[in-house]
Amino acid sequence: MGIRERLSGNEAAAIAMKQINPDVVAAFPITPSTEIPQYFSSFVSNGQVDTEFVAVESEHSAMSACIGAESAGARAMTATSANGLSLMWEMIYIASSLRLPIVMSLVNRAVSGPLNIHNDHSDAMGVRDAGWIMLFSETNQEAYDNLIMAHKIAEHKDVQLPLMVCQDGFITSHSIENIELLEDDVVKNFVGKYKPEHYLLNDKEPIAVGPLDLQAYLFEHKAQQAEAMRNAKKVIAEVAEEFEKISGRKYEFFEKYKLDDAELVVVCMNSTAGTTKAAIDELRAQGIKAGLLKIRMFRPFPAEEVAEVLKNAKAVAVLDKADSLNGCGGALFEDVVSGMYVSNIHVPTLSYVYGIGGRDTTVNEIKTVYTDLSKVVSSGSIDNPYRYLGLRK
């Protein structure tokens, strides 16, 4: 039986970690994810978990400690945001290339500068090519559920990659909302015991971790990493099916909201998807065929599947909460558009950069995107594909 609760997104993440009860948590506080290690450290001191909590002196050390622990054969977790993730940068790549299934709770925040503590996705987009599985969460519930599923995906023998669960800083991390928790033993049974194939503390099999890897092999190792990322798709789908059995909650690579017959479609991630649903409900009441494609699995990117579900749309808007500053659209836009192109699907598609540095995004603003899309459809012309939403003029 699910437990009806009300929690902030950070509390939800911390409780997921408590129920997972990993061997090691290493973290350094940074807004807006600080509460996660803060709550978790109280679980440690209260004896509610068996975890070795390592209060490190920087995020670089946090990821290094997770790498050390995971290499040794332990299950390791961390949490961070924005510049904390930036400081981990070097170790982020090492974690994935060493094929260590570390799980991170990333509470999305703008990367400085100038200094801004509020939500956007520039931190996550900075590591989109780092070889981590990336799951995005609309709500506290999804942040919790994605974390419960995380280890089963990351540790699967065909995957063995680190995984980060993203949620929006402050917007969900600091908002108290309804949530349904699973019982401790249900989570424990679901997550299972970590049984690494190769690990440093195995005295039967001495191994080296992270030695020199030059022209002869690095290419092949990178190809294996890429293969693991492709494999992750199947595993993410399988784990979601198992999760549905214990929770009743269904997760796919993406959520389709009133999408099947939609002519005008918004694609976005995290909390804005909820605001978009409210906008769609209002537009549908006026007879406008609006729909949403909410990306949950951003890495690996479900390119073919996205193209398939967008093929009947008349116009699409992709909302990026980070500006790639490349002059040609945000990261999610590029992935969606290239996915459609490769599948030979050509739907007029607009790029919107929005919500930078915590700029609030309202139902009415989302409705203006659908208005723009209907203009594209009626005029048959895109005019400027690279747009902003909510930018002050």
Q: Stretches 306-314, 340-348, 358-366, 368-376: which one binds another protein (CB under 8 A)?
A: 358-366
Dist. CA 300–CA 279, nearest whole Å = 28
Residues whose CB falls within 8 Å of the CB of residue 307, separated by 6 or more in sequence, listed in order: 339, 340, 342, 343, 345
How many residues form the binding site for another protein (CB under 8 A)?
Answer: 22
Residue selected from 176, 218, 223, 226 as contacting another protein according to rule CB under 8 A = 176
Angle between helix 303-310 and helix 331-342 axes, rounded to 10 deg: 80
Q: Stretches 49-57, 85-93, 166-174, 199-207: which one binds another protein (CB under 8 A)?
A: 166-174
Does the protein bind another protein through residue 45 (CB under 8 A)? no
| Phi (first) and psi of residue 362, to 5 degrees | -105, 165
Does the protein bind another protein through residue 339 (CB under 8 A)? no
Residue selected from 19, 64, 272, 351 as contacting another protein according to rule CB under 8 A = 272
Does the protein bind another protein through residue 38 (CB under 8 A)? no
Least Å distance, CB 361 to another protein, is 6
Dist. CA 108–CA 271, nearest whole Å = 11
Residue selected from 275, 349, 351, 374 as contacting another protein according to rule CB under 8 A = 275
Give the SS3 label for residue 381.
Answer: coil
Dist. CA 190–CA 239, nearest whole Å = 10
Q: What is the number of alpha carbons within 13 Å of residue 22 lying toward its C-beta?
A: 31
Q: Stretches 10-18, 42-50, 93-101, 275-283: which one binds another protein (CB under 8 A)?
A: 275-283
Residue selected from 21, 38, 116, 175 as contacting another protein according to rule CB under 8 A = 175
Binding mask 178-217 for another protein (x = CB under 8 A): x---------------------------------------
Does the protein bind another protein through residue 142 (CB under 8 A)? no
User: What string of H, E and C letters represents the secondary structure of 76-93?
Assistant: EEEEECHHHHHHHHHHHH
| ∠ Cα 115 117 118 (to 5°) | 125
Does the protein bind another protein through residue 99 (CB under 8 A)? no
Residues contributing to the site for another protein (CB under 8 A): 6, 117-118, 168, 170-172, 174-178, 271-272, 274-275, 277-278, 360-363
